[in-house]
Structure 1
């Protein structure tokens, strides 16, 4: 009887003196082990935490505060976005280029030009706009680094400026014969409009005369359409003064609308462009609305004049 009592007392003492299981912060208790570092017979007893199994999807279990590892699909998508041909396409401002090319191609059809002539007009304007877009981003490269680092194509190392300059040279070699193919006068008129656009990227952009390159280049577009002729055989005729003025005003309206997203940056840079001055009076959020509505009204007026044979003098 006494032996049984002594055995029960020894068991109770061992249970009360057993070490408590360590608790991992934010997780379940860790069971101690009695395995030695060297295996059985290693000469000692050590307490070691058994690491929790890693989740199969590569994410954390929420107990250690780590971040999830990127998935393979996300890595492939990021690689595609850094592919230099895609970056080069983004730097060309493709939406503006396509819209302007489609508008002038439709204008050529409106004036009774043949389908192949209108296609050449659209192709010419598309290449010219792409060249202007690349040149614009090259000129703004340092400014974009300060305000749009990593979001503009030329602010990331995957697109080399030399590649863009080479692309501009190829574009110029392509746009010149395209422009001349519908008439020497018409071709030179369009090339003059493109030259004004490129000069506008360099000068007058930050001052009160920021609208001048837009007005001049758009004001030359009607002459490019009216003087054009397939193969250069048709000399055409000059556009009316009213059409030229309306086209120039359309360029100013497009300038207002296109500048709206960057007005805050322009103001921080100390620019005093026409859109910035208008925004200081009516608010930046209304500049896009005013420019867009004005552009639509002027474009509609030009379409009416083209339908009514009021395009030429």
Structure 2
């Protein structure tokens, strides 16, 4: 019995360390998936290897910033609802806020190295998403919850199409079709990532889009429909990008 529990105890000790808690707070699955998708898009568009790597680093740090900021904003609510979160399991707000500040300071020059316009587009997308994480009655908790997601995702094609290497790098404007499709994809991701918190959000009096849809369809049906929606929009986006390129030129 003792031998069987030793690995479990070791894993618990590792999981309770500050690096492990910070990793959990970064929402690693969403961060890695978003990074892989945008990195693949940059690679398929014919960008050189160093530019593809730069895109990956930029996106990953931006996603970590958003994950940490989300958990920092939600710390009180996560404690109240006993959610399985790093801030509930021992990650201190001071450590989280310090790490978040360091990540933001690192993100700015790295993003700008993609080019001033590309960097600005990505930084704006992060700022908009961060504003969407705030517990604002009309936006995150209310009928406009989808808007920050649409704007943030809608800026991704611009980040890629304007991108290059170095602050002076310039590209071309993305196609309107890709921008709209990316925005629609963001709305779907918003619904998908909200599904596991619907009960707690309903108890807190939220009236945002995923909760309204779930009341009409049921959570299971909404999950199925959202996955189908994301698959359809993603497929159309990939086809359009392949046919026209990021900028259509």
1:199 alignment counterpart: 131
Q: Confirm whether residue 164 of structure 1 aligns to residue 99 of structure 2.
A: no
Stretch deviating more after TM superposition (105-114 or 121-130): 105-114
1:137 alignment counterpart: 71
1:124/1:175 contact within 8 Å kept: yes
Q: 2:220 pairs with 256, 280, 285, which one?
A: 285
2:52 alignment counterpart: 118
1:257/1:290 contact within 8 Å kept: no
1:254/1:295 contact within 8 Å kept: yes
1:110/1:306 contact within 8 Å kept: no
1:5 alignment counterpart: none
| Runs of 4+ with deviation above 6 angstroms | none
Q: 2:36 pairs with 96, 102, 116, which one?
A: 102
Q: 1:186 pairs with 118, 121, 124, which one?
A: 118
Show CA shifts across 1:193-246 (max 9, x none).
Answer: 000011111131110110000000000000001111122444111111111111
2:78/2:88 contact within 8 Å kept: yes
Once superposed, what is the RMSD of the aligned Cα atoms? Answer: 1.7
Q: Confirm whether residue 222 of structure 1 aligns to residue 151 of structure 2.
A: no
1:174 alignment counterpart: 106
2:116/2:168 contact within 8 Å kept: no
2:238 alignment counterpart: 303
1:127 alignment counterpart: 61
Q: Select the structure of larger CA radius of gyration.
A: 1
Q: Taking CA–CA contacts closer than 8 Å with sequence separation of 6 or more, which of the two structures ends up with the larger relative contact order? A: 2
Stretch deviating more after TM superposition (245-254 or 264-273): 264-273
3-state SS of paired residue (1:153): coil
2:45/2:245 contact within 8 Å kept: no
Unaligned segments of structure 1, at least 5 residues? 1-56, 59-69
Q: How big is the shift at 1:80?
A: 2.0
2:16 alignment counterpart: 82
Unaligned segments of structure 2, at least 5 residues? none
1:270 alignment counterpart: 205
- Count residues in correspondence: 244
